[in-house]
Amino acid sequence: MFLDPGYIILILLIGLLMMGMPIAFVLGVTASIMIMLDPAVVPQIIGLIPFGGANNYLLVAALLFMIAGEIMNQGKIAEKLIAFASSLVGHIRGGLAHVNILTSLFFSEISGTATSDAAAIGSVMIPQMKKRGYPAAFAAAVTSTSATMAIIVPPSLNLILYAYVANASIAQLFAAGILPGFLVCFLLIMTAYFISVKRGYPTEGAFSWARVASTGKDAALPLTLPILILVGILGGVFTATEAGAVAALWSIVMAALLYRTVTLRAFLDTLRIAGKRSAMLMFIVATSTLLGWYLTNQRIPQDIANAILGISENYWVVLLAINVFFLLAGTIVHGTPAILMLVPIFLPLADQLGIDRVHFGLIVTINLGIGQQTPPVASVVLITCAIARISLAQIIPSMMWFIGAMLIALALVNIFPAIVLWLPSVLL
């Protein structure tokens, strides 16, 4: 090869992405070309490595949590959570914005994906906020940014994938995501409050304990799901994959038998949607595993780590560089392929810096979540824009305030690792 393999890989990745090739094919084609060009590597490895990467018990949890979240979405469980959140924070200035954010936190502990959260909450909250006089761009921005909590708090799909890639404890990662998720929720609510006070947005009536009790009773069953997941995993009762099975079963019981909001046809549609999403996920996992194997074989992650440390060995400078890289990566690559493709590259550097792998997992996840709130990817933003019937350009000014709040949360998580690591140390 006339060029260093790392440069060829970078050229192939950028070139294929610019051609519009799906990310799974980009990863697989790049890895296959590099292996075929390398005489020291047996070509038959192209068929073996992807199968071994996708054949992992932990990844079944992703499918099961997708089923649980989709059934909750189909079963209109979000409406019960919205009513409960409204009873708690609706009386504050800008009440519906706070309801939107708090409901996203509740639903995040069920769905595990930001897109499901945005679709379920946005379809109800954005039209209601527009009716109450909130600008469509503001309503969409609140919904989109608060949906990011779904990839921070358990059962986050991104944390499951990070645990798989980094060989980290899923129980510790789930426990570690709780306080950062609450921190993001608090900062988003504070941002919405200051904007609402300045612009004179309405409240949703006086606070009433009777209403809290009534709506809380209706929302109690859905809220048992995240409690069941966390207690089961952290208590060692079942693994993350078994927790996914329990979550899927309990969501079916609630939606189909107790609330009777899901028909047999809707249930079959849910399985079809979850099956398609899991197939896409497993394809990306398989091809990223092949590329990851080649990168490791060529010691490219170690070379990148040494190159960065050659510029500066200062802990904070290197940590800032890592944050900026993942933040920018999140703007052009979805969270799933970004974790599968980039974490193996930067993990040796994090280890050299002495960053705990659980702490590093939350740093990566929050960065990618913020990055996905900006174009060109911005998948969650596009969902809320479609619901609000506005363009991407219209939502950007309103987004900036909430992205700023999430950047503050990210900075605090970086500076104070205890925000991430304290709860796992107590519970586990």
Longest Cα pair distance anywhere in the chain, in angstroms? 74
Residue 1 confidence (pLDDT): 46
Q: Which residue has the higher pLDDT, 111 or 148?
A: 148
**Distance of alpha carbon 427 from the chain centroid:** 23
Closest CA to 25 of 284, 276, 275: 284
- What are phi and psi for residue 44, nearest 5 degrees? -60, -15
Residue 20 confidence (pLDDT): 80
Task: Classify residue 44 by burial, with Cβ atoms within 10 Å: 0-12, 13-18, 19+.
Answer: exposed
pLDDT at position 343 over 60 = yes
Kindly list the distances between the CA atom of residue 190 and the CA atoms of 152, 186, 323, 338, 351, in Å, as whole numbers in the listed order: 19, 6, 24, 30, 35
* DSSP structure string for 75-128: TTHHHHHHHHHHHHHTTSTTHHHHHHHHHHHHHHHHH-SHHHHHHHHHHHHHHH
87-96, 180-189, 354-363: least confidently modelled range: 87-96
How is residue 235 annotated by DSSP?
T
Answer whether the bond into residue 376 is a cis peptide, omega within 30°. yes
Answer whether the bond into residue 301 is a cis peptide, omega within 30°. no
Residue 197 confidence (pLDDT): 93
CB atoms closer than 10 angstroms to residue 133: 11
> Which amino acid is residue 325, in one-letter code?
F
The span from the CA of 33 to the CA of 60, in Å, is 30
The span from the CA of 284 to the CA of 264, in Å, is 30
Q: Are 187 and 406 in contact (CB under 8 A)?
A: yes
Mean pLDDT for 116-121 is: 82
Task: Classify residue 54 by burial, with Cβ atoms within 10 Å: 0-12, 13-18, 19+.
Answer: middle
pLDDT at position 373 over 70 = yes
183: confidence class by pLDDT, cuts 50, 70, 90:
very high
Residue 228 confidence (pLDDT): 85
**For the chain, what percent of residues have pLDDT higher than 90?**
28
320: confidence class by pLDDT, cuts 50, 70, 90:
very high
Residue 3 confidence (pLDDT): 63
28-37, 44-53, 166-175: least confidently modelled range: 44-53
Q: Supply 216's token pair.
A: 């809380």
Task: Classify residue 223 by burial, with Cβ atoms within 10 Å: 0-12, 13-18, 19+.
Answer: middle
How is residue 188 annotated by DSSP?
H
Closest CA to 201 of 289, 111, 128, 134: 134
**Distance of alpha carbon 315 from the chain centroid:** 27
68: confidence class by pLDDT, cuts 50, 70, 90:
confident
The span from the CA of 332 to the CA of 427, in Å, is 36
Q: What is the dihedral of CA 207, 210, 214, 216, to 10 degrees?
A: 60
Residue 93 confidence (pLDDT): 92
